[in-house]
Structures are given as C-alpha cells and as structure tokens.
Amino acid sequence: MIKRIFTKEEWLKALEGLREHYRVFAPVKEGDFHNFRLMGEAGKPDFDFQNTRLSPKSVIYPQSERMFEYTLDETRQDAHVMKESPKDFSPQAIVGIRPCDGYAFQLVKINFDNPQYQDPWWVRRMEATTLVGFGCNEPCATCFCTSVGSGPFSEKGLDALMVDLGDRFLVRSITPKGEKLLEQIALGSEPGESALRKAQDLSDTAQKKISTRVPVDQLKSKVVNKLFDAPFWEKVSFACVNCGTCTYLCPTCWCFDIQDEVLGKEGDRIRNWDACMFPLFTLHGSGHNPRDKKVQRVRQRFMHKLKYYVDKYNDGVACVGCGRCVQYCPVNIDIRRVAQVMNDF
C-alpha cells in the first residue's frame, strides 16, 4: 500500500500532472452544485463539497451514447452497414468520488458485466478507470450508506482513498490501479503517525455522524407477491409526478433505451438513459402498456431496488444510501421510509 500526504496546492498540481497519463475527472463547482468534469475542459477542481448532485455514473455509462452509425445512401458501398462509432477507452481517473458512489459501480457491474452478458463499452471503460475515493468527513443528513453495505470511509469498489485532513490530503492506495496512479505522482511526502491517526479519527467520527438507520434486514424473507399486492403502494405513489429525477440522479439505476436517429441519409443508433418512472418505458409496440398507471411505476422502482434485486442476487439492496433521491425528489418521496414500510410489512 502506498500512502502519500499532499498540501492542497500540491494535490491540484499532482492532478494536473496526472493528465499526462489519464483523462482526469474531478468535482467542479458549477453554480450551487458540484459535478464531475473532465479536467482541462472545465473549471478548477474543488474538493469543498458534500456530494455531487449527479452521480459520476455517466463517466462510465454516458447519459447518451452513440453506439453505431450507418448510411442509407445507396450510392455508397457501405450503405446499410452498421459500424461501431468511435469511442475513447484510454485510461481515465475519477478523483474525489464518494465511497457510496464507488460502491455503486460494484452493484451496477452485476447488470453490465456478469457471466451471461458483458456490455463491451461499460466493461472496457470500467477497466480503463481508476477510482480515487474521497472519505466523507461531514456526511449529509440524508445519507444512510451505513445501513446498506457502504460507509463514509468504505473502500469497497475504490482503487485509492483521499482523506481531507484540513490543510492537507492524505491519499492511500487500495488496489494495484491505485498504486500505479500514486506512483506517477512525484509530489507529496510520507505521512507521519499523527496524520494517520487523524485520518482514523475522522473516519470513526464520520461513521457515528450517520444516525439514520434504514431497516432492510427482513426484505429477503418477504413473499414477493404479498409485497407486490400490499395496500401501501397507492399512498407511497400518490404525490409522485413521474419526473424521473430519482432515477437519473441515482448511481445504481442502469436502465436505457435504444433509438435510431436519421438525418438525411445518415443514421445513428444511440443509447440513452431511460427510467421505469416514465410511462413510455414499458409501452409495447402493440400499444399495450403493462405499467400504464403511476402506482405501478413507483412500485416497480422500489420493488426492483429493495426486493427483486435482493431475491435475485442475495447481495443486499440495489441502493448505496447516497440520499440523492431523498434530497431532490420534488414531492419528498423518501426511500428510507418506503424501505421501512416494506421491511415491516
């Protein structure tokens, strides 16, 4: 394991230097929010934040991605031939990712990289990515990572972890990818005992600051059909406006739709994020829609995260407790309360 300590200026310089080897994504303040941006294309990285509004999932799995392109021009020899659109799989690093979001990539891997199916683009991008986590000294009031298998200083899914010691950053490697990243930085020094102790204290204190306990321990034992037919879904879904905010912000939501767009004789096949909260998501070509009612869509979202996933993978819930959906739902639908209702039913 490599451990280095940097002044904050040194760390920014180190990230600049890393751009020789990686495309570096870091949090940048934009208006009231922080978002992950490619260094060199946006403002200066800023690590004074609780969490980014959007999860960094789009760095691996873009919100809109051109998959293939083709021409309908019959005068060309390659008319109607589907060609893979150019994509960038060069090494990249996401620096400053919160531990919940790092863990989310592990959950999403179940969908995109499993023995039955490998999504070639997700897999190649993930292989090319080094995740430098950032311990949460001050978790948000809406965080509940400790109830769902993660924690403010959890290392799950991360290659390295940064700790904000106030005037300096302590960075330690977790995996060979993290070691390689740190080996490429000439700046920094060996941390002393007091810095290491301080980092441990910050971790212990942060763990205690997350007071919300969301019960999910009984979900596996519930009968799926009983939960599906439970009377509380009308009440849970009543206020939902089907805006899709919860799914778009969520680091573990992975659904997409594939559309063809043709301009003149040139066509693109594009993959776009989609969401179970939208009526069109399940509309069949026949016109039938198995989830044409709001209550069915809201139930699907919670049943998928808190019951179907639990039963299928036996690996906890499909939620990392980042609290984004709680913070940004315009009508205050709260997954923590829904989990409790389902768990206690």
Query: Contact positions toward ligand SF4, by CB under 6 A?
Result: 240-246, 249-252, 277, 305, 319-325, 329-331, 333, 335
Residue 154, token pair as written in the block: 């959890």
Closest CA to 133 of 177, 167, 91: 177
d(CA 83, CA 269) in angstroms, rounded, equals 10
Structure tokens given for 238: 């009543």
Q: Decide whether 147 or 173 has the Cβ nearer to ligand SF4.
A: 147
Nearer to ligand SF4, 168 or 324 (CB): 324
Taking the complex as a whole, the smallest distance from the CB of residue 211 to ligand SF4 amounts, in Å, to: 16
**Amino acid symbol at 340:** Q
Least Å from the CB of residue 295 to ligand SF4: 11
User: What is the C-alpha R_g of the chain?
Assistant: 22
How many Cβ atoms sit within 10 Å of the Cβ of residue 275?
21
- CB 107, min distance to ligand SF4, A: 9
Q: Minimum CB separation from ligand SF4 for residue 86, in Å? A: 31
* Cβ-based nearer residue to ligand SF4, 28 or 216: 216
| Amino acid letter for position 252 | T
Closest CB to ligand SF4 among 165 and 320? Answer: 320
Residue 73 and residue 62: Cα distance in Å, rounded? 29
Find where tokens 């990249």 sit: 92
Distance of closest approach, residue 31 Cβ to ligand SF4, in angstroms: 20
Minimum CB separation from ligand SF4 for residue 320, in Å? 5
Residue 246, Cβ density class (10 Å: 0-12 exposed, 13-18 middle, ≥19 buried): buried
Q: Which is nearer to ligand SF4, 165 or 214 (CB)?
A: 214
Considering beta carbons, is residue 203 or 247 the nearer one to ligand SF4? 247
Q: What is the helix (H) or strand (E) element at residue 168, kind and residue range? A: strand 168-173
Query: Could you tell me the sign of the dihedral formed by the alpha carbons of 118, 96, 170, 128, in that order?
Result: positive
